[in-house]
Amino acid sequence: MTQAVRHHQHFINNRTRPASGGQTIEVIDPSSGESLGTLARGTAADIDSAVCAARAAYEKVWRATSALERSRILYRWSQIVADHAEELARLECLDTGKPMRQARGDATALARYFEFYAGAADKLHGQTIPYQEGYTVLTIREPHGVTGHIVPWNYPMQIFGRSVGAALAAGNACVVKPAEDACLSLLRAAELAAEAGLPEGVLNIVTGLGTEAGAALAAHPGIDHVSFTGSTATGTLVAQAAAAHHCPVTLELGGKSPQLVFADADLEAALPVLVGAIIQNGGQTCSAGSRVLVEKSIAAEVTRQLAQRFSALVAGPGLQDLDLGPLISARQHQRVALLLEDGLATGARVAAEGSIAAQAPAGGFYQKPVLLAELPSEHRLITEEVFGPVLAVQSFQDEAEAVSLANATPYGLVAGVWTRDGGRQLRLARRIQSGQVFINNYGAGGGVELPFGGVKHSGYGREKGFEALYGFTCLKTVAIHHG
């Protein structure tokens, strides 16, 4: 399907601006492989302009803007985003290939993030501390100043919303570097922020390659905090670059999240969730439930029922709104194919696979959903993030083995536990190493209120919920000696 081709520019000081070097990057529709236009290919010079704009806005306007006024602007932005949800969803669907209903969900979440942080902006306060006689000691939560946000391509709107919403509510001015593979919705959302009355320079977006604009943002000495979501390898580079100027970093990295299914589980409730947790966004979700750990006595039956469901899944163009869309790019498509090929050559076995819609354009980056039969815990497809629609099954004998398998990867982002045993629910919630544990559900609907982040190689720091506001502020202690 041919779409109107557009040439997108940076968004700095509430105005669009071409790349200083004049270079561009082609925007590809993953559903067809066709061009959707171009993006500005930002350089260190563009990042510097954006950081200067943000610094000036922070010093001259934003730091003196009351929490109430910040809240009102964010609230207006949330309403304008909600009014443009269909337009934003369509952009996200074209740019990422995700099914339209998921893109609509992401646009709704974007509005909800701004609404939530609008409500929180004027409720972030410090404390007084009982201290020695003659002193009054208080703490003040202050914004960092200028925050950098490096956003991946899998959920541009959601990740932008959660990180920029919280940073602005806390009083920071922002510079955002979206992913080169998907940033159209964010450029449009930034225009809507200007409509909502966000002062110029408070939110700036520089598009470009990670190794150019992204690296320049992480290394820029004018950035006071970096929020990064993406791969573990890139997160390490970002943290190293930020460390050179002692800049705090929040890292939201990958995962290899398990769902543990015990013999007493409500299978009727669990099965669609087990499938949905890996199929959502074509498996390109940091918190994808990419491993199912099943108690041995029901492993054969659960695998049979999962196989039935996988065989019925169909991948196709985002606008056709099938079970899943294409992968984001030719590079990601090839990466997943190579991982699978290697996995199959080293002992993995396909238990079932879905299909690609007959009418899907040949140039799209489609990957059939794959269910892998039981694999040993050291296998690459058990320990490494595939970031595609690939679900691996493992089995366990008892609770102790279930915990040990759940914790046996370098990651620790999310886990699901399916059991009716209340004691076991609580034991596992404590013993599983991950930032979130869901009991008899997975993701709890992804609520913006729920703090999110990882342990181990899944990263550190928390975004979402009220907790994010602590990360986007620093605490100052003021001790007054009044005698």
Active-site residue numbers?
A: 252, 286
Q: Which of 425, 307, 418 is nearest to 372 (CA)?
A: 307
Sole window of 146-154, 260-268, 366-374, 462-470 interacting with ligand NAD (rule: CB under 6 A):
146-154
Smallest separation (angstroms) from ligand NAD to the CB of 284: 7
Residue in the shown chain whose Cβ atom is closest to ligand NAD: 210
Cβ proximity to ligand NAD, 91 vs 219, nearer residue: 219
Residue 151 binds to ligand NAD (criterion: CB under 6 A): yes
Smallest separation (angstroms) from ligand NAD to the CB of 127: 34
Residue 153 binds to ligand NAD (criterion: CB under 6 A): yes
Print the binding letters for residues 297-336 with ligand NAD: x by CB under 6 A, - otherwise: -----------------------------------x--x-
Rounded to the nearest 5°, which phi and psi values hold at 348? -75, 150
Smallest separation (angstroms) from ligand NAD to the CB of 401: 27
* Cα–Cα distance for residue pair 203/11, rounded to 1 Å: 8
Burial of residue 426 (number of CB atoms within 10 Å: 0-12, 13-18, 19+): exposed
Residues 167-186 that bind ligand NAD (CB under 6 A): 177, 179-180
Residues 360-389 that bind ligand NAD (CB under 6 A): 385, 387
Binding-residue total with ligand NAD (CB under 6 A)? 26
**Three-class HEC string of 70-98:** HHHHHHHHHHHHHHCHHHHHHHHHHHHCC
Q: Which of 276, 283, 281, 282 is nearest to 384 (CA)?
A: 283
Residues 334-353 that bind ligand NAD (CB under 6 A): 335
Strands 350-353 and 370-372: antiparallel
Find tokens 């082609």 and name the residue.
26
CA distances from 443 to 152, 222, 288, 400, 457 (A): 20, 36, 10, 24, 20
Rounded to the nearest 5°, which phi and psi values hold at 28? -110, 135
Task: Output the DSSP codes for 249-270.
Answer: EEEE----EEEEE-TTS-HHHH
Cβ proximity to ligand NAD, 31 vs 232, nearer residue: 232
Residues 215-254 that bind ligand NAD (CB under 6 A): 215, 218, 229-231, 234, 237-238, 253-254
Residue 286 binds to ligand NAD (criterion: CB under 6 A): yes
Q: Which residues bind ligand NAD (CB under 6 A)?
A: 150-154, 177, 179-180, 210-211, 214-215, 218, 229-231, 234, 237-238, 253-254, 286, 332, 335, 385, 387
